[in-house]
Structure 1
Amino acid sequence: MFISPMLLQRVDEPFDSADYITELKLDGIRLIYSVDDEGKVRLYTRHNNEVTSKFPELTNIGIPAGTVLDGELIVTDKDGKPDFEAMMNRFVSERNSTPPVSFVAFDVIKYNNERVTASTLLDRKDLLADIIKHDSEQLSKVQYITGMGRAYFDVVRDQSLEGIVLKRKDSRYQVGKRSSDWLKVINYQYTEVFITGYRKKEFGLLLTDLEGKNVGVMELGVSQHAKECISNAAILDENENFRFIEPLKCRAKFRHYTKAGLLRLPSFVEWT
């Protein structure tokens, strides 16, 4: 059974509050883990795509019948950190069973064939601890602390992890909704880049670093005013797909550098 997951609302800064718990934001793929009343396991992405056949190693990990869990599917690197690129490589592979994946649960939506969405978050966390009594490489549960959002985020930033999640202790599980009860703070990095061109069809800006090396394509955060500035820039050359312009310097934020040296999800911040 697919149940649309509760979504996170983004905030710019972490905060400290005893009314919230703080968790690590895992860099992977959101996964709804469903076991029907006959014990049949089905795995779904947040967009209701069934992916059970891609991850056969997760179909017999001891989750009881009549249970639906919410969590993250991850692959870890040699340092034990989530590796999003490795996760995506495994996700798009048709028959590959490596690298191994882990399902890290952070909430319970259904138990004993009954929805528990009206229970408080802390009550659902207690239930999750009963369901997953012992963590393993394939199955574990997210650890959390009360409050201390700022200090936790400092550690996340020092370790170059994706971010943190702040959740109100008494929050109910709001199926398919984005709520201020669940907040995410992303550990963005910032850099200066040149916009050197743009796609002719779907929107996308070509980026280089200050030494002229390609660092990817920007699609996010570009205001209408910025688009007008780019469209008015002098055109140096073009081909079937791109127009190349006099470079324009700007500041961009992004998640991290990919293994190929590209900016992951770059977003326009300001002109420099």
Structure 2
Amino acid sequence: MLLQYAKNNEPFDDSSTISELKWDGIRLIVSNMDKLNLYTKNTNATAKYPELHNPPIPKGTILDGEIVVLDEHGKADFEACNARFKSSRIKHKVVFFAFDILYHRGMDVTGLPLEVRKGLLEEALQENEHYQIVRPIKGNATDFFNIICQHGLEGIVIKKKNSKYEKNTRSWSWQKVINYQQAEVYITGYSKKEHSWLLGYHEDGHIRPIGSLELGITPSARKSMSPVFEAYKSGESKDHVYVKPLVRCKVKYRDWYKSGIMRLPVFEEFIV
């Protein structure tokens, strides 16, 4: 079951919903049926996470949740989590945060209301250092999201209390609100192979490369940049064409990688 973005990426208060912290990690299904299997969206990742091999749940249980690497402050470190997923040589320990239960005592419970499934999750999972439960917060979603932003966390998920678990569906019963940051950046080129633009960030008197932009570029925005790319070309490589940094735009983004690359920038508008 996948999430929709809340309208305008804004939190809303509704007595028929609950709100949870959105952990910044990798989605994982923990299946403890005849044998244990750990599934990401596209991979059987059982061998990648030996610390999760003795789940504190009975046979006949399947959980949905997020694997996370926590930093020294208890915040999710997505870059460390992604590095651990990609390389067996990386030793960052992961924690699985369960937010739903799909099978309980061998029975499919996806057709039950979310509130009931939450109760079954509490019954099935005995928390330890590697397995934790994501619990709804008390209070309204708007105040919760404001607190999340103050602490620099990823965002929240707003879920209907009576929602069924809709397999392989991007459902409006679950809506995410992301704590995006905003920045003004320069467009410094484009990819020859992909529909992406190169970005630069003004820092200490020069423009530093900060990666590429793929998301949110509309056909009209792409059309507007075409004559700029043609007129102000400054060089090229095997994969990219570079242009003079004359055009600025506003982007929203998740955060910064330690390498100085902007994570998941989304085009919003040109700055005139």
User: In structure 1, what residue type is equivalent to 2:196?
Assistant: G
**1:251: Cα distance to partner?**
0.2
**1:99-178 → structure 2 map (5 Å cutoff):** 99-133=92-126, 135-146=127-138, 148-178=140-170
TM-score (norm 1): 0.93
How far apart are the structure 2 equivalents of 1:131 and 1:111? 7
Q: Deviations over 1:54-86 (max 9, x none)?
A: 001101122211111000000000000010000
2:64 alignment partner in structure 1: 70
Ranges of 4+ aligned residues in structure 1 off by more than 2 Å = none
Structure 2, unaligned runs of 5 or more? none
**1:138: Cα distance to partner?**
0.2
SS of residue in 2 equivalent to 1:249 = strand
User: In structure 1, what residue type is equivalent to 2:266?
Assistant: S
Q: What is the root-mean-square deviation in Å for CA atoms of aligned residues?
A: 1.2
SS of residue in 1 equivalent to 2:74 = coil
Contact 1:18 1:147 in 2 (8 A): no
User: In structure 2, what residue type is equivalent to 1:85?
Assistant: E
How far apart are the structure 2 equivalents of 1:28 and 1:74? 5
SS of residue in 1 equivalent to 2:158 = strand
**1:238: Cα distance to partner?**
1.8
User: In structure 1, what residue type is equivalent to 2:27?
Assistant: R
**1:203: Cα distance to partner?**
2.0
1:250 alignment partner in structure 2: 249
Q: Deviations over 1:230-251 (max 9, x none)?
A: 2211212222221111321000
SS of residue in 2 equivalent to 1:127 = helix
SS of residue in 1 equivalent to 2:262 = coil
User: In structure 2, what residue type is equivalent to 1:270?
Assistant: E
Contact 2:112 2:164 in 1 (8 A): yes
Contact 2:98 2:133 in 1 (8 A): yes
How far apart are the structure 2 equivalents of 1:156 and 1:215? 26
**1:109: Cα distance to partner?**
0.5
**1:85-104 → structure 2 map (5 Å cutoff):** 85-96=79-90, 98-104=91-97
SS of residue in 2 equivalent to 1:126 = helix
**1:17-96 → structure 2 map (5 Å cutoff):** 17-36=14-33, 38=34, 40-47=35-42, 49-96=43-90
Q: Deviations over 1:181-226 (max 9, x none)?
A: 1000011000000000011112221111123011111111101111
Q: 143-152 or 172-181: which moved more?
A: 143-152
Number of residue pairs matched by the alignment: 262
1:260 alignment partner in structure 2: 259
SS of residue in 2 equivalent to 1:176 = coil
Contact 1:29 1:73 in 2 (8 A): yes
Contact 1:16 1:147 in 2 (8 A): no
Q: Percent identity, aligned pairs only?
A: 44
How far apart are the structure 1 equivalents of 2:214 and 2:139? 34
